[in-house]
Amino acid sequence: MAETVESKAVVLDIGGKKRAFDIDDPKLPGWIDDNAFSSGGYPYQDKLDKDIFAKTLEDLQAELVKVQFWLQKTGGRVMALFEGRDAAGKGGAIHDILAYMNPRTARVVALTKPTETEQGQWYYQRYVTKFPTAGEFVLFDRSWYNRAGVEPVMGFCTPEQHAHFLKQTPRFEKLIVEDGIHFFKFWLDIGREMQLKRFHDRAHDRLKVWKLSPMDIAALNKWDDYSEKRDLMLKETDSDHAPWTVVRANDKRRARIEVIRTMLSALDYEGKDKSVVGDVDGKIICSGRKFLD
């Protein structure tokens, strides 16, 4: 495990039961392994077949290439932000979306914590500077919604700042949409046991251990706090002009396919093959409002 990750065992409250979890133990506890895939009420029993996933993904990625040509021809702009709990699969989804797009006009934005100068600016300012120009396709790996989740849970903002953010954000996003940007907001949702499994996998994979941060460990006992802030975020910022798309993401394969389908379905690009795009899976994708219901 990376030296930057603090090692400690914790006792977690899982469905009213006390469960011990030591992320340093190379053996994954059976109660996690047995329940990870079905956790959070996941609607499928097995992963999407690997070959079906590969073929479907390749076909959808070819459609994304068409989108990029269309944007370059028309000067259109696409922007999507990806939010979700740690280990929800945001980075992997972004990787598969951008895999075959020209990096000159398709890019990812993943900002670090704000500098002292940025802390003194309008909260949204450092994000606005990363918005797409004509012909660009931009994906945010986390976004201004840090202030709706991690900041209030971990005490990085005041309750007043949090409340102000929830009030101001729908207005801010209306400006984005009114300026003609094709705007998407994805919340990748995973079950608790699945998150623990992915944390454990990272801790014992020398190529992925860098993804596990001290913040992840500190948040292990804050699942309910994050859930409460997520629900409030969806309630206050799911608007008609900038709705949330919730993606059930215990199966990374299905999640990535449905994220791309959602974007392609909403874009009226040249050469669109509707038979390839297909229909969005309603078991995996739902609106923020429906998720709360």
User: In this structure, what CATH number is given to the domain that contains residue 147?
Assistant: 3.40.50.300
CB neighbour class for 96 (10 Å; exposed up to 12, middle 13-18, buried from 19): buried
Q: Check residue 78 and report its DSSP letter.
A: E
Q: Note whether residue 9 is domain-resident.
A: no
In whole angstroms, give the CA distance from residue 146 to residue 32: 28
Q: Check residue 205 and report its DSSP letter.
A: -
Please report the pLDDT score of residue 208 as a whole number: 94
Please report the pLDDT score of residue 36 as a whole number: 98
Q: Note whether residue 254 is domain-resident.
A: yes
Report whether pLDDT(126) > 80. Answer: yes
Domain that holds residue 99: 49-191+217-292
Domain total in the chain: 1
In whole angstroms, give the CA distance from residue 76 to residue 7: 47
Rounded alpha-carbon distances, angstroms, from residue 147 to 141, 219, 234, 243 = 14, 16, 13, 18
* Side chain identity, residue 6: E
Q: Note whether residue 42 is domain-resident.
A: no
Tokens describing residue 283: 């078991």
pLDDT, tens digit, 9 for 90 and up, residues 133-186: 999 999 999 999 999 999 999 999 999 999 999 999 999 999 999 999 999 999
Strand partners, 208: none
* Side chain identity, residue 97: I
Q: Note whether residue 276 is domain-resident.
A: yes
Report whether pLDDT(7) > 80. Answer: no
Q: Note whether residue 12 is domain-resident.
A: no
Report whether pLDDT(292) > 60. Answer: yes
Q: Note whether residue 256 is domain-resident.
A: yes
The mean pLDDT value of the chain amounts to: 95
- Kindly give the residue spans of alpha helices, DSSP state H, lying in 9-49: 30-35
In whole angstroms, give the CA distance from residue 37 to residue 111: 30
Give which of 108, 96, 29, 39 is closest to 64, Cα–Cα: 96
Banded pLDDT at 26 (limits 50, 70, 90): very high
Residues 6+ apart with CB under 8 A from 63: 260, 264, 272, 273, 276, 277
Please report the pLDDT score of residue 8 as a whole number: 62
Q: Note whether residue 88 is domain-resident.
A: yes
Give which of 217, 212, 206, 256 is closest to 60, Cα–Cα: 256
pTM attached to this predicted model: 0.95
Cα-atom radius of gyration of the chain, to the nearest Å? 19
Banded pLDDT at 218 (limits 50, 70, 90): confident
pLDDT, tens digit, 9 for 90 and up, residues 33-77: 999 999 999 999 999 999 999 999 999 999 999 999 999 999 999
Please report the pLDDT score of residue 33 as a whole number: 96
| Number of Cβ within a 10 Å radius of residue 143 | 21
pLDDT, tens digit, 9 for 90 and up, residues 246-274: 999 999 999 999 999 999 999 999 999 99
Residues 6+ apart with CB under 8 A from 23: 1, 7, 9, 199, 200, 203, 217
Contact 157, 51 (CB under 8 A): no
pLDDT, tens digit, 9 for 90 and up, residues 179-207: 999 999 999 999 999 999 999 999 999 99
Banded pLDDT at 2 (limits 50, 70, 90): very low
* Side chain identity, residue 274: K
Please report the pLDDT score of residue 1 as a whole number: 40
In whole angstroms, give the CA distance from residue 292 to residue 111: 29
Report whether pLDDT(235) > 60. Answer: yes
Please report the pLDDT score of residue 142 as a whole number: 98
Report whether pLDDT(5) > 60. Answer: no
Residues 6+ apart with CB under 8 A from 113: none
Report whether pLDDT(4) > 60. Answer: no
C-alpha 229, offset from chain centre:
15
Q: Note whether residue 19 is domain-resident.
A: no
